[in-house]
Amino acid sequence: VQLLQKKRAELHTLGIDWRITGIASRRLGWCVNTGGFDPENLCGADPCGAGALAREKSINDVHQWLRSVQANVLFEATSLNVASGQPAIDNLRAALEFGAHAITANKGPVVHGYQELRDLAQSKGKRFLFESAVMDGAPIFSLFRELPAIHLKSFRGILNSTTNLILTEMERGMTFDESVEKAQSLGLAETDPSNDTEGWDATVKVAALVTVLMGVPTKPQQIQREGITRLKVEDVRAARQHGQPYKLVCRAQRTSSGVEASVGPQQLPLSDPLSAVAGTSSAVYFETDVLPGLAIIESNPGVETTAYGMLADFIHAVG
Ligand SMILES: NC(=O)c1ccc[n+]([C@@H]2O[C@H](COP(=O)([O-])OP(=O)(O)OC[C@H]3O[C@@H](n4cnc5c(N)ncnc54)[C@H](OP(=O)(O)O)[C@@H]3O)[C@@H](O)[C@H]2O)c1
């Protein structure tokens, strides 16, 4: 909402105006204001206070809610469900069936529902877009949409900020637990950080890139995965001192029978550009048939970076 507000004038120059007619979450329930919620209130310290977001008690599901708010666009940002991609898939499907564009920052529906949601969007003349799902606002999916007749052979990268920050802080002297606490205090890691530290978040991102960019439907469970929890702090420090730092490396390589993909800690030489990706930054290197080396590096992303991916999707959908 803050970014939509900040960019309102620029959006006007693109012929785009907006108002927020519905908000929903587990705690809030289904909220409706067809006249449009006041964005300043929503960005304030207590957006849910004073009944501003009164739950519409007569609404019981996403279909009723979409009808009530007369949505043109749904921004879906529920938590990642690694195993099923739900409830995001149901929410996005409902939006497209209703006739709204479906935008998500959640990678779950990309790996568990890509083909279905893409085809549904096409049949409805709407867009299913998910730029923020991998590397926040960095333009990965939109970049490849702009590269016609290209064949992605492989990629490798660092795609999980939390583990990269934890490894960086361990190299600098913190314990594993202290590094996790720092990642939590920065709002990166959740209370239960295991989705990141066990490599699941990175694995779902690899599955999303393989599914969409390589055209090979791939579930996270099909990817060889190892997190960083088995690494000892003294080994991480020694590895950096010997010029071979540990990184949680994501890889995918096209083979004669499909794609081989993995996520796991690896020691990299300092000559490898991935070894210089520190803290919360992330990077991915693509090898294509015509562009042998193409890289995207994202330094120090914040929550606005993620919001920008969703804003860019919004502009692509309605512009
Ligand atoms: N944070 C980032 O920088 C970032 C970057 C890239 C992608 N993403 C993706 O963006 C999504 C949101 O991230 P986040 O950090 O905001 O996650 P989060 O802290 O887990 O918040 C998720 C939100 O979704 C709501 N929610 C979860 N399950 C729900 C359900 N079953 N029904 C209705 N509402 C539900 C929660 O509502 P309640 O609070 O009411 O429970 C909460 O408002 C995730 O999929 C994440 O992977 C985030």
Mind listing the pLDDT tens digit for each residue in 34-74? 999 999 988 876 766 655 677 888 999 999 999 999 999 99
Predicted local distance difference test score (pLDDT) of residue 175: 96
Q: Report d(CA 132, CA 129) in Å as an integer.
A: 9
pLDDT reading at 80 higher than 80: yes
Give residue 79 CA to ligand 1 midpoint distance, Å.
4
Give residue 76 CA to ligand 1 midpoint distance, Å.
9
The residues near 304 (Cβ < 8 Å, ≥ 6 apart) are: 2, 3, 137
pLDDT, average across residues 192-209: 96
Each residue of 14-40: pLDDT tens digit? 999 999 999 999 999 999 999 999 999
What global pTM score does this model have?
0.96
Ligand 1 site residues (CB inside 6 A) read 25-28, 77-80, 87, 105-106, 132, 136, 303, 306
Predicted local distance difference test score (pLDDT) of residue 51: 55
pLDDT reading at 192 higher than 80: yes
* Ligand 1 atom at shortest distance from the alpha carbon of 136: 6
pLDDT category of residue 191 using cuts at 50, 70 and 90: confident
pLDDT category of residue 188 using cuts at 50, 70 and 90: confident
Determine phi and psi for 167, rounding to 5 degrees. Answer: -65, -40
The residues near 213 (Cβ < 8 Å, ≥ 6 apart) are: 140, 141, 144, 152, 155
pLDDT reading at 206 higher than 60: yes
Q: Report d(CA 164, CA 189) in Å as an integer.
A: 11
Q: Which of 79, 135, 313 to mutate to test the pocket of ligand 1 (most atoms within 8 A of CB)?
A: 79
pLDDT, average across residues 153-173: 97
pLDDT, average across residues 186-211: 93
Which residue's alpha carbon is at the smallest distance from atom 41 of ligand 1?
26
Residue scoring higher pLDDT (134 or 186): 134
Mean pLDDT of the chain: 95
* Ligand 1 atom at shortest distance from the alpha carbon of 133: 7
Predicted local distance difference test score (pLDDT) of residue 48: 64
Each residue of 100-155: pLDDT tens digit? 999 999 999 999 999 999 999 999 999 999 999 999 999 999 999 999 999 999 99
Predicted local distance difference test score (pLDDT) of residue 262: 98
Catalytic member of 7, 107, 126, 205: 205
Give residue 53 CA to ligand 1 midpoint distance, Å.
18
Could you tell me if residue 125 is left (phi over 0), alpha (psi between -120 and 50 degrees) or otherwise beta? left
Predicted local distance difference test score (pLDDT) of residue 69: 96
